[in-house]
Structure 1
Amino acid sequence: MGRLSPLSQLVRPSAWKLEPEPSTFAPSSDWSNKDMDPVPLDKRTWTMFNYVAYWISDTANAATWALASSMLAIGLSWRQALPAIALGNIIMGTIMVLNGTIGARLHIAFPILNRSSFGFWLSYFSVISRVVLSLFWFGIQTFVGSECVYQMLKAIWPSIAHLPNHLSPNAHITTSGLICYFLYWLIQFPFLLVSPQKIRWLFLAKAIIVPPTWLALLIWALVKVPPSSGLLSQKAVLSGSELSWAWLGALNSALGNYATLGVNIPDFTRYAKNERAYANICAEVNPFNDTNQHSRRQYIQLIILPVGFTLASFVGIAATSAGIALYGQVLWDPLKLIDHWDNRAAAFFASFSFTLGTLSTNISANSLSAGNDMTALWPRYINIRRGQVICAFLGGWALCPWEILASATGFLSFMGGYTVFLGPITGIMVTDYWLVHRTHVDVPSMYRPHGRYRYTYGANWRAAAAMIVSVPLTLPGLINSINTNIHVGVGARLFDIAYLLGFTLASAVYFTLSRLFPAHETMLDHAILEQETLPDDGSYYGSDEKKDGSRVDEARAA
């Protein structure tokens, strides 16, 4: 039999098989690879300074601007929109610290951590849901980046605005827009190949370059249209119950802005040098240590998120208000606002700032998250880098983000829509680690399909019950937001509080069921982070698994 050609060898599954790390906790390469294993000491490179730079850089992006200014488009005033944004980010900041501390402490990714609360097999529901959301968000951010590229090219070559359009008006994108979409996709692709340990320097560059540009935009808005005749004179067009529900919808959208990262923040905090590099609000303070220094580290994440995002949102609202006075339109998309500028140099540098901001946000919040999740789905063949490449092709081209961003209402509906699932998932994870298991978890068992967290046939029925109770309540509103011709009555209102309702209800149900019907095999008196000397009869796991991950009954049969 002759040798296979290089192309034939490339399409064989064996050619893509990854080599597992010898230190893995998993019984075989079917269940883990080096990107899924706990981060080794030499790769824990993120310091507190890196996380501060990350959050500063992440506040200034087009999605934050669009979220805030689109609230004006649905009838809220800036006085009503800003409190909703601030409160939403205070809540999300608290959730980020609670969930992120777990990753900084255990150094494991979201798909692995989720197994301790949902069960080994049921956790795949959360992982697949997160993959789908990452693909959607990757496409949306890529489209936003293409608008940035368009404005940069227009500042250099104004004739691009007059290129013939060969696409239908119903496509919500033009020929020139599609060209810019492809160019931006090519620009960001090499960054998808950078390791998580090194990508932190991109966040530092963004934290230095982007905020001054936003400050300049704020000054432009206040100079062009003085607050007395612009921002301060704006009034809400809603009143009564409609105003109340619109405000709650805005709050839900503010939560939805980073609800995905609230779930999988361990994907990034796992690279922390130590637990104190990321905010740990639950650690005991040693009275003989520098308490003040610890307190500063303790609360920095809780401060920087609401303050940073609220200030960035205020810039978006102020500039959008100026656009209303100058151009007579609610230009909630910052790139559409720049499109009205006559100063080509200002348009180029502002667009470049948004290009850089969108690039780093898309990588950190979407492609890296998708890479982690896809690694958990097929660890024998997919690592983080390969997962990011798959995300680039599926999320970048298989979806149509320009349809979602076609209107302010559609944008807010999408932002709030996926919180139907993310709120309950996050609530269950936080409640399980901090309240049910009281931080005493077994990391090696999270890598074994027949380990301690197998629960009942691989599913924790308590988590399933919490999801079943909390998700259906908001589904009618989700359906109505997708198709307004389907009338669901008062059920549509619950969708306006989907995240808070799902988070609190799922947490309460899960905690109650875990107390009434505890999973005794998962209850420990201390956390297990490394492999310990274990008995071979499976008694350590509370199941029928041996130390090497094989089944006791299978070994006996052999």
Structure 2
Amino acid sequence: MKLRISRPHIRVSQGESAFSAGNARWTNRDLDPIAKNARKWGVSSIIAYWISDALHAATWQFASGMIAVGLTYREALGIVALSFFIISLVIAANGTVGAIYHVPFPVIARASWGFWGSYIAIISRVILAIFWFAIQNVNGGNAVHVMIGAIWPSFLDLPNAIPESQGITTAGMVGYLIFWLIQVPFLCMHPNKLRWLFTVKSVLVPIAWIAILIWSFVTVQGGGEVFAKQAPTVSGSKYSWLFLANMTSVLGNYSTLSVNMCDFTRYSRVSPRWQLLYIPMLPMVFTFFSFIGIAASSAGQVHYNLSSIPWDPTVLISYWSNRACRFFGAASFALASLGVNISANSLSAANDFTALAPRYINIRRGQILCALLSWCLVPWKILESASNFLTFMSAYAIFLGPIAAIMMFDYWVVNRRRYDCLALYQPHNPRYRYTFAIPGLLGKSMSGTNWRAVVSFIVGVAPSLPGLVNAVNSHIDVGVGIHPYEFGWLLGFVATSIAYLSLSWLFPAQETQIDRAVLPDEIYDRGMVIEGTEADDPDGKNGVLDSQEKHMDVEKAV
């Protein structure tokens, strides 16, 4: 009997369907709408996902990082609560679109940006997702470094061969590499299976963190100097800009989920109304875990007589004398970084890579590519200090705020909650082609890009660019131009919203306006697509529905 070995293929599997017929350039199996039998995420999965997403080093560092730059713990917690209330509204609004149409962000972006224009949003997001993936690698690597030191104390004395200016030691790099390797098997899993990772994390990590909270109050009665501090160390206009800058850093951390939530809600089997759960849940969950970070960091500063607050949790844990406590405490942060790195970063980057080259990249390959590229970003330098961390998060926010605004208002206001799902896979369908004439080009026209979205995006991002330049190179003086950057997410979101709604009202795209939504389930229910293959089509339309043949109003779906 001959053993047959299957050789790997450069191209990914692409089934024939109403969505992919003749469109290999724009879709593959991972970009097609999720069929009913493949939707595994229920309410418990959604709750576990969000608890899991709240549990990572950045949530711990939010408030403690703010205290490190001069604010009080009350103001820090207030900023966290307010920021997550704002971002939860956007996450719920954009997540609902994925729960209705069961398609990922790169496909939904075609509705508001056009097929070619969507690349602006996709490339912006994939670059930022890779950056944040790299940042979480550092947090996870630091935790692994502490874990190894707890088991093998001499590891902490490993000679350092890396220059101090790089912000990482040889032992730290070993931890970074090990954590990176631990992630690889999870990067190869389907998103439906990853919900079990989030469930496990949402049980184990809170137990560890609450234990740390108990330790902080038992160790230091009253919680330490942070809780006795009644006033910030800054005042006047400096205080106002610092408040806005810190709010932007919090918004920036989760601005990625304001656009990529549909990458997960597309797997939801429950009513889209459950997306409203985010609005009360996110501010409470994230504020509570940020409070743990404040209490533990404050207690650590007092108990170990440190000159500054240990805002990095792995630094705090490294002071513990009990090796078992050090190991399991650090393990909780390693698991925390693992879960959030996949949920918020690698999967969103993978969807974007898949959309950029659907013939050659699927979600699995996209995640591996994200992991490989993360090495090029030297993220350990970004996390050298509290101020650098906040600067990075502000930079992260200025691009995603405008993208989230366009996505949100295009669906809920401009198109009145009605998209043609099939047309999102048909580049030659006039529905989202956005053809327009360019003056001076002798009647020639451009197609595939919604100029309203492009102009609105520029309006939202441009005011923050001088501040971004200064953040990258502090030797470049931009004067007052630095201030818009300090509240870049809010400014970008509001400015883009006003610009997009105004342009859509003054120059409406009539071709996108439809009376009823075309949902993917209509096509599945008609038997035109069966598990990614083309079924019999008695009407002879080759799987293409006229957009007027609609069977369900989107209002019934919500």
Output the TM-score relative to the length of structure 1: 0.88
SS at match of 1:19: coil
Correspondence for 1:73 = 68
Q: CA RMSD in A?
A: 2.0
**Counterparts of 1:228 and 1:161, CA distance in 2:** 30
Indicate whether 1:409 and 2:404 are aligned: no
Give the conservation status (yes or no) of the 8 Å contact 1:18–1:380.
yes
- How many angstroms apart in 2 are the aligned matches of 1:173 and 1:182? 12
Please name the residue that 2:89 is paired with. Answer: 94
1:20 alignment counterpart: 14
Alpha-carbon distance, 1:16 to partner: 1.1
Q: Specify the alignment match of 1:439 in structure 2.
A: 417
**Residue 471 of structure 1: SS of its match in structure 2?**
helix
Summarize the Cα distance change of 1:416–1:534 in structure 2 as closer, same or farther, 3 Å threshold: farther
Q: Which residue, out of 319, 336, 343, partners 1:340?
A: 319
The match for 1:501 among 457, 482, 491 is 491
1:254 aligns with 2:250: yes
Give the letter for the 2:10 counterpart.
W
Asked if 1:151 corresponds to 2:146, the answer is yes
Query: Residue 321 of structure 1: CA displacement?
Result: 1.7
The answer to whether the 8 A contact 1:323-1:329 is kept is: no
Counterpart of 1:367 (choices 339, 346, 349) is 346
The CA distance in 2 between the partners of 1:306 and 1:520, in whole Å, is 39
Name 2:554's counterpart in structure 1.
none
Paired AA for residue 527 in structure 1: A
Shift of 1:276: 3.8
Kindly indicate whether the alpha-carbon contact (under 8 Å) linking 1:145 and 1:181 is maintained by their aligned counterparts in 2: yes
Q: 1:62 aligned to 2:57?
A: yes
Q: What is the match of residue 163 of structure 1?
A: 158
C-alpha offsets along residues 213-241 of structure 1, whole Å, 9 cap, x if unaligned?
A: 11111111222222264332124211111
Equivalent in the alignment of 1:384: 363
Looking at structure 2, the residues matched to 84 and 534 of structure 1 have their Cα atoms a distance apart, in angstroms, of 58
Where does residue 43 of structure 1 map in the other structure?
Answer: 38
More deviation, 57-66/303-312: 57-66
> How many residue pairs get matched?
511
Q: How far, CA to CA, are the matches of 1:115 and 1:90 in structure 2?
A: 28
Mapped pair 1:525 → 2:515: yes
| 1:266 counterpart residue number | 262
Residue 44 to residue 229, structure 1, CA distance change in 2 (3 Å): closer
Cα-to-partner distance string for 1:254-290 (whole Å, 9 max, x where unaligned): 11110011111100000001334732xxxxxxxxxxx
> Partner of 2:529 in structure 1?
none
Q: CA 1:164 to 1:503, structure 2 compared with 1: closer, same or farther past 3 Å?
A: same
> 1:120-142 CA deviation, whole Å, 9 max, x = no partner?
10100111111111111111111
Paired letter, 2:143: C
| Structure 1: unaligned runs, 5 residues or longer | 1-5, 280-298, 543-558
Distance 2:233 2:298 in 1: 14
Give matches, 1:18-417, under 5 Å: 18-26=12-20, 27-227=22-222, 229-234=224-229, 235-276=231-272, 278-279=274-275, 299-326=276-303, 327-395=306-374, 397-417=375-395
CA deviation digits over 1:10-58, x for unaligned, max 9?
Answer: 6xxxx31123122241323221101000001111000011000111111
Q: Residues 228 and 522 (structure 1 numbering): CA distance in 2 closer, same or farther, change over 3 Å?
A: closer
Shift of 1:352: 0.8
What CA distance in whole angstroms lies between the structure 1 residues aligned with 2:124 and 2:29? Answer: 23
1:93-146 Cα distance to aligned partner (Å, 9 max, x none): 111100000000100000000010011101001111111111111111111111
Percent identity over the alignment is 47
Per the alignment, in what secondary structure is the counterpart of residue 166 of structure 1?
A: coil
CA contact (8 A) 2:216 2:223 kept: no
Q: Relative to structure 2, which stretch is displaced further, 269-278 or 78-87?
A: 269-278
With 488-497 and 194-203 compared, the bigger mean Cα shift is at 488-497
Q: Deviations over 1:468-506 (max 9, x none)?
A: 212111111111122222111112111111111111111
2:18 and 2:519 map into 1 onto residues whose CA distance is 12
Mapped contact 2:122–2:352 kept (Cα < 8 A): yes
CA-CA distance at 1:540 after TM superposition: 5.5
CA distance, structure 1, for counterparts of residue 354 and residue 18 of structure 2: 14
Q: Is the 8 A contact 1:103 1:270 kept in 2?
A: yes
Native 8 Å contact 1:105 1:274 kept in 2: no
Q: Is 1:513 the equivalent of 2:503? A: yes
Q: Output one character per residue of 1:361-401: Cα deviation in whole Å (capped at 9) or x when no partner.
A: 11111111111111100001110001011111111x22211
Change (3 A) 1:53 1:539: closer
Q: How big is the shift at 1:204?
A: 0.4
Shift in CA distance, 512/539, structure 1 to aligned 2, threshold 3 Å: farther
2:403 matches 1:425 = yes
Q: Give SS of 2:15's match.
A: coil
- For residues 189-233 of structure 1, the C-alpha deviation after alignment (integer angstroms, 9 at most, x for no partner) is 111111101100000001110111111111112222222643321
Using the alignment, how far apart are the partners of 2:492 and 2:501 within structure 1? Answer: 14
Distance 1:266 1:300 in 2: 15
Deviation at 1:512, TM superposition (A): 1.2
In 2, the alpha carbon distance for the partners of 1:409 and 1:189 equals 31
Q: Give the distance between the partners of 1:230 and 1:534, measured in 2 at CA.
A: 75
Q: C-alpha separation between the residues in 2 aligned to 1:534 and 1:71?
A: 63
The normalised TM-score by structure 2 is 0.88
CA contact (8 A) 1:24 1:37 kept: no
Q: Deviations over 1:436-470 (max 9, x none)?
A: 00111111111122221110311101111111212
Residues 143 and 24 of structure 1, relative CA distance in 2, 3 Å threshold: farther
Moved more, 217-226 or 359-368: 217-226
- Matched residue SS, 2:13: coil
The amino acid that maps onto 1:455 is Y
Residue 243 (structure 1) shift:
0.9
2:473 corresponds in structure 1 to 483
> CA distance change for structure 1 residues 181 and 229 in 2, over 3 Å: closer, same or farther?
closer
Q: Distance in 1 between matches of 2:154 and 2:511?
A: 68
Aligned to 2:460: 470
Compared with structure 1, are the counterparts of its residues 55 and 228 closer, same or farther at alpha carbon in structure 2 (3 Å cutoff)? closer
